[in-house]
Structure 1
Amino acid sequence: MHTFWDNINKFPRFLISVLAGFFLTTLYPIFELLQDKKTRILLIIISCLSISILYQILKLMLGLN
């Protein structure tokens, strides 16, 4: 029974390390793109357009005026 509780105590540390690894692996290409000024500006423009389009779609779907 001691082994079971020892494994349960290790789980939060494991979960945090898996989530941190996932986000670092996922976001690493985006950070690499931000190194160049042209791609940084392009990425900012694409992000702003995406957010505004999503906002307009949700606004029309929900009937908010």
Structure 2
Amino acid sequence: MMQDLWNTVSKYPRFIFGVIFGVILNVLAPFAPLFKRPVTAIATVGILLASFAFLSFTLRAMLGLNPV
């Protein structure tokens, strides 16, 4: 009986990984057509990097981690 419990509990990490992976794939799927042409791919990567930099600088300034 205890062995069945541990077999069931050991399946949870695989389930959680599958759920997270599925969510990531569904979030990124709409962006896939943008990477078919080089111009839109460069623009998309630029926008993503700029968004990440903006968010990073904003959070650093708000939290006082590094003076910007």
TM-score range, shorter chain: 0.5 to 0.7
2:29 is the alignment partner of 1:7: no
Q: 5+ residue gaps in structure 2?
A: none
In the alignment, structure 1 segments of 5+ residues that lack a partner are none
**Counterpart in the other structure of 1:27:** 28
Q: 1:22 to 1:52 in 2, by over 3 A?
A: closer
Distance 1:52 1:16 in 2: 28
Distance 1:13 1:60 in 2: 38
Amino acid at match of 1:23: I
Q: 1:46 to 1:14 in 2, by over 3 A?
A: same
C-alpha spacing 1:42/1:12, structure 2 compared with 1 (3 Å): same
Structure 1 CA distance for aligned equivalents of residues 60 and 18 of structure 2: 37
Distance of 1:14 and 1:48 partners within structure 2? 31
RMSD over aligned Cα atoms: 2.4
The one-letter amino acid paired with 1:64 is P
Amino-acid identity (%): 29
Length, aligned pairs only = 65
Per-residue deviation at 1:37?
Answer: 1.8
